[in-house]
């Protein structure tokens, strides 16, 4: 009868490092979910922030693919004392607009969005090491773009299931961590 809201504020001081990559959001039938995230990151800090959106409870009671009413995600990024660096918003209303059409999700179900806010020299190295992906076998599509105002880079992935998308995000995060702090990502847990 109503909706769920998540509000987050992440602030990073000088020379700090944070990875925030929560589990995917899985909207259930007829749900309405809004999230608003504000990132305040010092120019010398590094933040890996990710969101993954599932199509719904895909295998629940015959499937709930794109059966939710609204999924809204607003992301605002700025320096601690200003200025605003960029704003990104996704407003998905499957009942009003066909999400499965070409140019939106196409034949894909899972979407991941990873923002890497980091100093420009680190962002340039990550950008150069991240290869765009178009894999018809999986299938999987992924690519990296530069964020405005020398804020860093953004990495987007589309896939049919969560595991290939998670693997692509993990590979991107491994590159980002290596370039930002010179450390490798630990091996995945055995039960994955």
Query: pLDDT of 84-137, one tens digit each?
Result: 999 999 999 998 988 888 778 888 999 999 999 999 999 999 999 999 999 999
Query: Residue 187: its pLDDT value, please?
Result: 82
Q: Which of 186, 145, 143, 140 is nearest to 166 (CA)?
A: 140
Our measurement of the distance from residue 13's CA atom to the centroid of its chain's CA atoms, rounded to an integer in Å, reads 22
Query: Residue 192: its pLDDT value, please?
Result: 58
Residues of the chain with pLDDT under 70: 1, 191-192
Query: Residue 155: its pLDDT value, please?
Result: 98
Query: Residue 101: its pLDDT value, please?
Result: 83
Q: How many CA atoms lie within 13 A of 57 on its CB side?
A: 7
Backbone torsions φ then ψ of 113, nearest 5 degrees:
-135, 115
């Amino acid at each position: 009868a109503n909706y769920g809201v998540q509000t987050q504020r992440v602030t990073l001081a000088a020379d700090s490092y944070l990875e925030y990559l929560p589990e995917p959001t899985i909207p259930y039938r007829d749900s309405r979910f809004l999230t608003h995230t504000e990132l305040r990151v010092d120019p010398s800090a590094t933040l890996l922030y990710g969101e993954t959106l599932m199509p719904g409870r895909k295998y629940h009671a015959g499937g709930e693919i794109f059966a939710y009413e609204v999924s809204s995600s607003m992301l605002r990024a700025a320096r601690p004392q200003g200025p605003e660096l960029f704003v990104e918003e996704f407003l998905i209303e499957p009942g009003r607009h066909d999400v499965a059409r070409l140019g939106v999700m196409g034949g894909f179900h899972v979407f991941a969005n990873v923002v890497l806010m980091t100093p420009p020299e680190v962002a340039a190295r990550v950008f150069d090491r991240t290869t765009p992906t178009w894999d018809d076998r999986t299938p999987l599509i992924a690519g990296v773009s530069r964020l405005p105002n020398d804020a860093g880079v953004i990495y987007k992935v589309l896939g049919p299931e969560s595991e290939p998308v998670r693997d692509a995000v993990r590979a991107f995060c491994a590159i980002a961590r290596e370039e930002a702090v010179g450390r490798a990502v630990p091996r995945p847990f055995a039960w994955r």
